[in-house]
Chain A
C-alpha cells in the first residue's frame, strides 16, 4: 500500500480560501461560544410547553417528537392564516439586498446567513416548498427546500442569532420586519421543544413570581430597602419606597435587573431620589416586579400571559396610571402589544403628571408613560434643581436602545435629559444612532455567557462607533435606557473599548439632582467623589 503521509511540501500548501457553500445547504456547526444552551425541562414543564427533555444543540440527536415535521408545518399553516404580516413577509421580498449589510451580526461575523434577507430565506424556502405551487413543482430551482432535521437545526442556530432589533426593517423598501420572521421562527421551534434556557427560565420565573430572576416578594422588598438605606448614606435623606400600596396614584414598573444588577442599580437609586424630591404618590408591585417580557422571544401567547400581570396589578392596587422604567424590549411589548392583548385599560385614566399637569395623550391607549418622557417633562417645566457639574467626570455618549428608538420613537427625551444633567455630551456617528442605532448584540434573550463569542461579534459595530467617540472626544460613559444593554454593554466594551463605562439616564439625573434637606453631597450614586471641573458653589444650577 502506498504511503499516505503527506510530504512537507504538501503540508505547507494551506488553502486559506473557505470552500464555496450553497446557501441551500443547511448544515451548521455548533461551536461552543456561538450558541445558547437548551432550556431545562423544568422550565418547559412549568409553562406547559411541549417536549420537555434533556438535550443540547451540539448533540446529534435532538430528541424531537416523532411527528415533528407535521407539527412544524401545521404550525406554519396556522400562523400563515392568523398573521397577515407573516404571509406578506413570506411572499413580497424581492431580494433587493437593501437589508443585506444592515445586520450587526452580519457586519461582525461575516456569515452570509446573517444577512436579514438570507435569514428570512431559511424559513421562506420551506414556505415555498410546502405552501406554493411553484415550490412544490420545481423545488430547489425556485429556492424551495425540504424541511429536514438539518434545516430545523439551522433555524435554531440563526433565529437564536437574531436579536430582533429591527435595524434591517428600517431599510426595507417593502417594510418587511425580519424580527417578526424571527419571532415566528422561534414560535415554530417552540412547538417541538427547541428553545434556549436564557429565555425560558426567565419566562418560567416570571410566570411564577412576576419577575425574571424568580425573586419573591420578600426578596424584592429586601432589595428596595437596601437601596433606600444606601440612598440615605449618600444623601442624608431618608426616603420612602412604597410596595403594593393600594390607592397610590401611579404604579411604577421596572425591569428586575434594576434592583439586582450593576450598573442598573444606580438607575434605581436615581428613580427613588427623583420620586422623593417631587413627592410622587406611587407604588411598586411585588408581583408586577418585572417590566421585561421574555415572552416576546418565545411566542405571542407567552407575551400575553406575562404582560397580563401589569394591568392586573394596576387594577388590584387601584392606581390611576402606570409609569415604566428604563427597559428596552419591555417598551416594545407595552407600546405595540399590551393594549391589543390585554386591553382596553379603560379602568385607568389617561396619564397626567401630578407635578406639571402635562397630559400624556400619546399614551391614551396603554395608559403607561416612559420614565424619560415623564422626567423630561419635569425638566422642561423647571421643576427640578439640577447641578450638571456633578457629572463632570463623565464624557457621555448615548446608545439608542433598539426598542425605545425603533419601536416607540423615543429619541429626543433621553438626549434632553443628558444635556440637562451633563456638560459633556458627544453623539456617535449619524448612521449608528437614532433609528439606525446598532444593537448591543445581546438582545432577545441572547445575552448569556455561553454565547459570549457570538455577542462580541454582533456587538462590534456598536462598539466600533463607541471607540470612535472615545478616541476623538475622550468619551468614558455610554448612557442607555435598556436593562439588557446595561447588562451586556459592559462586557462588550471591556473587550472592544476598555475605559468606557455604562450607565442609565436616571443615574445621571440622580447624580445631578439637588434634593431638599439632607446634607451636602460629595459623592455620586456609585459612591465615587464628584470630580467637578469648576467650583460649583457659586454656580447657579442650569435648571433651577
Chain B
C-alpha cells in the first residue's frame, strides 16, 4: 500500500470499508439510515462522514497533505465532539482505518506490499493525535460559545452601563 502505487479502486474500497466501520459506532437503526440516505441535507451526518472519510482515505494512501487531512478530520470530529460519545469513542474512528486497510489488503491477490501497512499505521497514529487536538479545541470552544451567549442575553444592560462590547470577537479558527 505504498502511497504512489495504490489504485483509485483500492482507495475507494478502503474509504468504503472505513466508512462502514465508522457507521457501526452508531446504533444499528441509525447506521442504516446514515449509510443509505444520500441527500446531504436530509442526512448531514452520514454525508459528512462519507465525504470526509473519502478525502482522508485519499490522504492516507496518497500525498498525506496535513492541512487538507486536518480540515477533513475537523468536519467529522466537530460532529462527534457533540454526539453521545466518550472522548475516546469520538476520535477512535480514526483507528478504525487500520482494520479497514487490512481488510481491503486481505482481499487482494498478493496482499499488501511489505512495510506498507506499517507506513499507513504511522500516518493513522499521526491523524489520531490531530483528532485528539481538534476534539479538545471543539470542547473548549463550546464553553467559550456558552459564555458569549450568556452575555448576549444582557446586551442592552451592558451597553446601558457602558461596559465594553467585545461580543463581536470571532471565535478562533481550529485549523490554521
Interface residues of A (CB under 8 A from B): 14, 16-18, 20-21, 31, 33-34, 100-101, 106-112, 115, 222-223, 226-227, 257, 259-263, 265, 429, 431-432, 449, 452-453, 456-457, 460-461, 464-465, 468, 487-488, 490-491, 494-496, 498-499
Contact = CB atoms under 8 A, between A and B. Distances in A.
A93 B47 CA distance: 30
Contacts of A107: 42-45
B41 A495 contact: no
B83 A457 contact: yes
Given A18-B27, A496-B78, A101 B40 contact: no
Contacts of B28: 20
A34 B83 CA distance: 9
B47 to A, nearest CB: 9
B122 interface: no
Contact of B170 (A14, A465, A498): A498
Interface stretch (B2-10, B56-64, B112-120, B149-157): B149-157
B33 A101 contact: yes
Given A227-B156, A464-B48, 5 more contacts: A110-B34, A261-B154, A265-B156, A432-B41, A494-B148
A464 B170 contact: no
B98 to A, nearest CB: 11
Interface in B125-176: 138, 141-142, 145-146, 148-150, 152-157, 159-160, 167, 170-171, 173
Contacts of A226: 156, 159-160
Given A111-B27, A112-B27, A226-B159, A261 B152 contact: yes
A65 to B, nearest CB: 31
Interface size class for chain B? 35 or more
Q: 10 shortest A-B CB distances, which residue pairs? A: A262-B155, A464-B44, A110-B30, A456-B82, A112-B29, A491-B149, A491-B145, A110-B26, A262-B152, A449-B146
B154 A449 contact: no
Given A101-B33, A260-B155, A498-B173, A449 B41 contact: no
B109 interface: no
Nearest to A431: B41
Given A460-B79, A487-B153, A112 B24 contact: no
A508 B84 CA distance: 39
Contact of A262 (B145, B160, B167): B167
A463 B3 CA distance: 35
Given A259-B156, A260-B156, A452-B146, A499 B170 contact: yes
B176 to A, nearest CB: 14
A365 to B, nearest CB: 34
Contacts of B24: 16-17
Contacts, number: 131
A431 B38 CA distance: 13
B149 to A, nearest CB: 4
A230 to B, nearest CB: 8
Contacts of A464: 40-41, 44, 48
Contacts of B152: 261-263, 487, 490
B145 A495 contact: yes
Given A112-B30, A265-B155, A449-B150, A495 B141 contact: yes
Contacts of A20: 28
Contacts of B173: 498
Contacts of B146: 449, 452, 491
A465 B44 CA distance: 9
A35 to B, nearest CB: 12
Contacts of A460: 44-45, 79, 82
B65 interface: no
B83 A260 contact: no
Given A261-B155, A460-B79, A464-B44, A452 B30 contact: no
6 contacts: A101-B37, A106-B30, A107-B43, A226-B160, A495-B171, A496-B78
Interface in B70-123: 78-79, 82-84, 89, 92-93, 96
B13 interface: no
Nearest to B28: A20
A339 B170 CA distance: 44
Contacts of A456: 82, 142
Contacts of A265: 155-156
A222 B152 CA distance: 18
A259 B152 CA distance: 12
Contact of B142 (A34, A453, A465): A453
Contacts of B83: 108-110, 457
Contacts of B154: 260-261
Contacts of B34: 110
Contact of B42 (A108, A227, A431, A499): A431
Contacts of A112: 27, 29-30
Nearest to B96: A16
A100 B26 CA distance: 16
Contacts of A16: 21, 24-25, 89, 92-93, 96
Contact of A452 (B29, B33, B92, B142): B142
A20 B26 CA distance: 10
Contacts of A431: 39, 41-42
A494 B92 contact: no
Contacts of B92: 14, 16
